Amino acid sequence: MEWWYTNDPYTAELLVTGSEGEPVSGLGIQYNVTKLPNTAIASGDLTDIGSGIYQTTILFTEEGQYRILYTPPISYPTSMEHIKVISKASQLTLQKFLSLK
């Protein structure tokens, strides 16, 4: 699980390779962002930036756990990632608490 801050742009990125490990460009790949347990937040298409890499930018405005599901064409595997989003204020509070121990 990756950690991120609220209101900091997050670059969601996916590398797609073929059966021989070569980068595959020119595909239409969709993404869906869900705040767990099951609240849809955003969806759309990733941008092909070349060399088999597809990206989009997501702005998480609330703390919580999120899942990003990447859906390429049927002949390629679906992929997902989990992200824990916290505010910078929460991070500072946690650091202060831990430093007191």
- pLDDT given for residue 45 in this prediction: 98
- pLDDT given for residue 89 in this prediction: 79
Q: Determine the structural domain holding residue 44 and report its residue range.
A: 2-100
* Position 100 confidence tier, pLDDT thresholds 50, 70, 90: low
Is the model's pLDDT at 94 over the cut of 80? no
Average pLDDT over the chain, rounded to whole?
Answer: 91
Strands (E), 27-76: 30-35, 39-45, 47-50, 53-58, 64-71
Query: What does the DSSP 8-state code read for residue 51?
Result: T
Mean pLDDT of 10-15: 96
* Helix ranges (DSSP H) in 1-101: 88-100
- pLDDT given for residue 80 in this prediction: 96
List, for residues 17-52, the tens digit of each pLDDT value.
Answer: 999 999 999 999 999 999 999 999 999 999 999 999
- Give the tokens for residue 60: 């998480």
Mean pLDDT of 74-95: 85
**How many distinct structural domains can be found in the chain?**
1
> What is the CATH classification number for the domain harbouring 21?
2.60.40.1930
